[in-house]
Amino acid sequence: MPPFRSIHEAVLERARATPEAPALRYKGTTRSYGALAGSALAFARALREEHPSGGLFAVLAAKSPEAVAGFLGLLFAGGAYLPLDTRSPKARLRAILDRAAPDGLLYGPAHAGLARELAGSGLPCRPLPEIAGGGDLSLPVSPAAAGDLAYLLFTSGSTGEPKGVPISHGNAAAFVDWAAERFDLGPGDLVAVHAPLHFDLPVFDLYVGLRRGACLLLIPDETVLFPEATSRLLAAEGATVLYAVPSALLAILKRSPEPRPFGPLRYLLYAGEEFPGAHLERLRRAAPGARIFNLYGPVETNVVTWFELDDRPFDRVPIGRPVEGTEVALLLEDGALSLQGPREGEILVHGPSVFAGYWGGAGPDRIWTDSRGQTWYRTGDVGVWRDDGDLQFLGRRDSMVKTRGFRVELGEIEAVLHRHPEVAQAAVVARPDPDLTHTLHAFVVPAAGAALDEAGLLRWCREHLPGYMVPAGIRLLRELPTGRNGKVDRLQLAEQAGRAPHGG
């Protein structure tokens, strides 16, 4: 068995082999592998002087070369990183910092003030490294064991608070090793980094792309907000690899006047939600030279199944077959495990890319142990095995939904609404949407004597939730409808949401 090699060691090997090759392109400027790795190594040396054992550092920065250098520098120093969403409300960022308890906070130049405000007087705060030319590539890196923490991502939690998903070096390497073998990226490729850095998709972009000697095209966060601008950048720069969520691809398809809005792609990968079958032919025409892949896996598991699209029409695209070294099964209603067959069940995953458990021990109900004593991660997704052996995703079994490529617990939105001093009851439902996967709709019963309105409640949500979790609309009710069991009748609310003006 070959010795364990971490994701950052593979990047450093590439930088030492081809220091002059282009590694990052951002706003018209290119940085070399030598400059990127040299700056990260110098930063790592400075960090080790203050934190010899590494530690966990939160990173508050826009997508930028400095952020990439900071991630690598932390890994080189034996530390781990927690990327923060710069657009999240302060209350949510503080909640994440309180829960994660990092050893320090690193920030980009545009977020120095916010970082110092969040850090207060008790959390060390310092800027990310700037990428300078040259650098000593012979500097040592701290060894990483497979069980050591590599990065910590926070996702929506059913308790109303965000949950931390710790990904070990072994978890990350298992995914990156597989992806580096499955997709033949190389020095001639330009990998577009579209998703925000606090999301899990850029793990592929950064560590597979840099490992294989490709150049990363960092699409500025402000450009991503405008599909036409994103399309123009992809075409002008000549991106050959794009990994994005379907709602982003659909937005580019709908708003770009170009017949080939994604540029000269070789690979077009998507994950995070279903791509509507009705739009597949349009996607194929927009990227005629690209191999298109549907990748599946929650944040907790990394990618665990894959499916390459062909010319066949699909009402629903399968999520495919397990990646090498990963086991995927269905948990049936009678408690049996199904590795094939027509019965529906909850998708379970076991393998080296699957995390060991939530930060702080949250969510133990997500782990299931079979009769052999093997543990599986319960995804909460429902699937069925097709006759051809591919796995078909059918939907969610709980209150977790996808919108705009993000996973959202409806309970977290409800918890935020319930914290409003004039709210007596609140319920949130999701309705299918061909572009966004789902739209979110809230229903609120005001407290006695309260003078609530929709605009005020939407402002409250925007102050406490990231943008993708803010409901499309809020309706005020005298009472929430209930079923025979006394529980809120969410089907009736979903029907009301469909009749509401402006989708509210």
Closest CA to 30 of 70, 65, 73, 72: 65
State residue 232's pLDDT score: 95
Single out the residue in 134, 152, 171 at which a domain terminates. 134
Residues 43, 122: one domain? yes
Give the span between the Cα atoms of 137 and 405, in whole angstroms. 38
State residue 103's pLDDT score: 97
Contacts of 432 (CB under 8 A, 6+ apart): 438
Residue 111 CA from chain centroid, whole number = 21
Burial class (CB in 10 A: 0-12, 13-18, 19+), 396: middle
Q: Let me know if residue 227 belongs to a domain.
A: no
Residues of the chain with pLDDT > 70, as a percent, come to 97
Phi, psi of 425 (to 5 degrees): -140, 155
Task: Using alpha carbons only, give the angle 139, 141, 145 rounded to the nearest 5 degrees.
Answer: 165
Per-residue pLDDT at 504 exceeds 50: no
Q: Give me the CATH number covering residue 344.
A: 2.30.38.10
Per-residue pLDDT at 70 exceeds 50: yes
Q: pLDDT tens digit string along 208-251?
A: 999 999 999 999 999 999 999 999 999 999 999 999 998 889 88
State residue 486's pLDDT score: 60
Q: Which two tokens stand for residue 471?
A: 């409901």
Give the span between the Cα atoms of 21 and 17, in whole angstroms. 9
Residues 467, 441: one domain? yes
Per-residue pLDDT at 501 exceeds 60: no
State residue 256's pLDDT score: 82
Residues 405, 474: one domain? yes
Contacts of 387 (CB under 8 A, 6+ apart): none
**How many residues appear in the chain?**
504
Residues 386, 405: one domain? no
State residue 502's pLDDT score: 42
Q: pLDDT tens digit string along 143-185?
A: 899 999 999 999 876 666 789 999 999 999 999 999 999 999 9
Contacts of 37 (CB under 8 A, 6+ apart): 11, 12, 15, 16, 19, 72, 135, 137
Q: Which of 98-112, 377-391, 481-495 has the lowest mean pLDDT?
A: 481-495
* Number of domains making up the chain: 3
Give the span between the Cα atoms of 415 and 136, in whole angstroms. 50
Residues 428, 375: one domain? no
Residues 73, 113: one domain? yes
Which residues constitute the domain of residue 480? 400-503
Per-residue pLDDT at 434 exceeds 90: no
Q: Tell me the average pLDDT of the chain.
A: 92
Q: Give me the CATH number covering residue 427.
A: 3.30.300.30
Q: Give me the CATH number covering residue 116.
A: 3.40.50.980
**Coil/strand/helix, residue 437:** strand
Single out the residue in 396, 419, 442 at which a domain terminates. 396
Single out the residue in 342, 371, 396 at which a domain terminates. 396
Give the span between the Cα atoms of 75 and 70, in whole angstroms. 9
State residue 133's pLDDT score: 79
- Confidence label for 503 from pLDDT (cuts 50, 70 and 90): very low
389-407: average pLDDT: 86
Residues 424, 466: one domain? yes
